[in-house]
A and B are shown apart, each in its own frame.
Chain A
Amino acid sequence: MSTYTASLLADVGILTLGALSVYVILATGQLSLGNAGFMAIGAYLASYLTVVAGVPLTSALVIAALCSGIIGVMIGFPALRLKGIFLAMATLGFGEMIRSLFLNLEITGGAGGFHGMAHVSVTYVWIWVGLILVLVWLMESSRAWLEMRAVADDETAANLIGLNTTMTKIGAFGMSAAVAAVSGGLFAHHHVYIEPGNFGFERSIDFVLAVILGGSTIGAGSLVGAALLVLLPEQLRALDDWRPAAFGALLIIVLLIRRQGILDRSLLRRFTFRKQAA
């Protein structure tokens, strides 16, 4: 595998995790535009742990995920009072807040960025991606996941039939933040250099875009969306200056044809039914 291909594949994996982090929150009907913030927390914390404290990478990623998860839960509480577009704006604000925090934080290099991480292979990245994809896939057939969907469908009714919707929403925020942190940690150790600009608003938008494009009702949609988002622009290189425009047009076409994204639950059901029938 050439380094070019390897680097693209690693980017697909990292974006898949970012997209999954948005997907988990979206499953409860909440849109987060600030997940790059959690990614930044994961990236900086994991890097600091490996470079300065000498913690092995895998442990550093787990610690970063846990810490970011706790912060996610803390963000989840004020977010409970907000819905829809207002929540989206608040999370956007959170993301920018984290970015400027690292811009001014001297111990992680401030605007100059942070480096010194040991490079990890694309295989290591994909072990994490595979692990988290499987976890999400398992959770999708659990009752906890149904509770999340119930909150998305009708929060009031969910509460009145006995579901603790507060815990569900906060839990989703925590999970989302943990996954985003792993994405950040892997990003940092694959690119071996990070700066606050890596974790801006555009990054959060990429996550959301990958979910919407790939399909926001099943986890595998994040994988498909991330692959398209990373690989498609590469395929369009021949178009030169027109590349972003062509990419934008393709996005619009996909969303016009399949508003629910490329993969969705009924598509999956059709496949599983066919399997049972055979």
Chain B
Amino acid sequence: MSAPLLQLSDVTKSFGGIKALSGLSCEVRQGQIVGVIGPNGAGKTTLFNVITGAYRANSGDVNFDRQPITHWRPYRIARAGAVRTFQNIRLFSSMTVWEHLLVAQPGRGALWRRALPTRWADGAAIARAEEVLEFFGLKDVRNQIARSLSYGTQRKVEMARALTANPRLLLLDEPVAGMNHDEAEDIRRLMLRLRDGGLTILLIEHDMGFVMNLCDYLYVLDFGVLIAKGLPAEIQSDPIVMDAYLGKEA
């Protein structure tokens, strides 16, 4: 079997005396949708922050595409192909949807191409942005300020922004939080299409129905510790997971 795309070995991250992640090891295989679930405060977002370089792990190793990225700066990790979205949406406040898609192609083009007007010098960037715009069905809102759109649409713009960078691993932090059922279903279909196109996805989500229907593999975190892993069906019937979510029976 080939090496996993993302591999964490024994990663620990603490804030003062609190261990947000302790001795976490996990891996994400190419072409899978992998979910990370767990109660609030389990360390899920911390895990994303460690992978993408926003936080630096206290110990342990993160390998992405066989490269040790543990101490890389965030933009390098993103350029290597691991791009994320944010739980609390972080769109650029002054930009339209279209501008978000143009700016998020950091690896593309020499400096002179990037410094000249995009419509003259950078047809490839425009083509890619159009493609992603079409894929997420955002054409109607392309010239609107992204922050002014509905919550669900803003989440889509964040995903689109991450996707225009041509990532190999897409990290989604609660992609359907605050969405209604139809919107979430729309997102689920888009993700399946992305996976079928060869993209690997790692996602954090609270909506259990959504996770069970989408993920190929699951990790369960509680208080920074990995308490279970397996196929969705296995996790669903795991007594340890039920305890973590619902509390232990007396």
Contacts and interface: CB of A to CB of B under 8 A. Distances in A.
B103 A150 contact: yes
A160 B52 contact: yes
B86 A153 contact: no
B71 interface: no
Contacts of A139: 115-116
A19 to B, nearest CB: 20
A138 B75 contact: no
Contacts of B106: 147, 161-164
Contacts of A144: 111, 114-115
A3 interface: no
Interface stretch (B6-14, B117-125, B180-188): B117-125
A153 B118 contact: no
A80 interface: no
B162 A142 contact: no
Q: What's the interface size class on B, roughly?
A: 35 or more
Given A150-B95, A153-B93, A217-B94, A160 B84 contact: yes
Interface of A: 138-139, 141-144, 146-147, 149-150, 152-154, 156-165, 217, 265
6 contacts: A143-B103, A143-B113, A157-B91, A160-B75, A162-B78, A265-B94
Nearest to B49: A160
B117 A141 contact: yes
Most chain B C-beta atoms within 10 Å of own C-beta, residue among A157, A158, A165: A157
Interface in B75-124: 75, 78-79, 83-84, 86, 90-95, 99, 102-107, 109, 111, 113-119, 121-122
A131 to B, nearest CB: 16
Given A159-B74, A162-B79, A146 B95 contact: yes
Given A159-B75, A164-B75, A143 B105 contact: yes
B73 interface: yes
A162 B83 contact: yes
A161 B161 contact: yes
A104 to B, nearest CB: 38
B54 interface: yes
Contacts of A165: 75
Contacts, number: 92
A163 B74 CA distance: 9
B47 interface: no
Nearest to A217: B94
A160 B122 contact: no
A159 B114 CA distance: 17
Contacts of B95: 146, 149-150, 153
B114 A161 contact: no
B165 interface: yes
B73 A154 contact: no
Contacts of B54: 156, 160
Contacts of A160: 52-54, 74-75, 78, 83-84
Given A146-B102, A149-B92, A162 B114 contact: no
B122 A143 contact: yes
Given A142-B115, A144-B111, A157 B92 contact: yes
Contacts of A152: 94
B191 to A, nearest CB: 19
Contacts of B73: 159
A163 B103 contact: yes
A153 B161 CA distance: 15
B109 A161 contact: no
A147 B94 contact: no
A153 B53 CA distance: 20
Contacts of B83: 160-162
B75 A163 contact: yes
B92 A142 contact: no
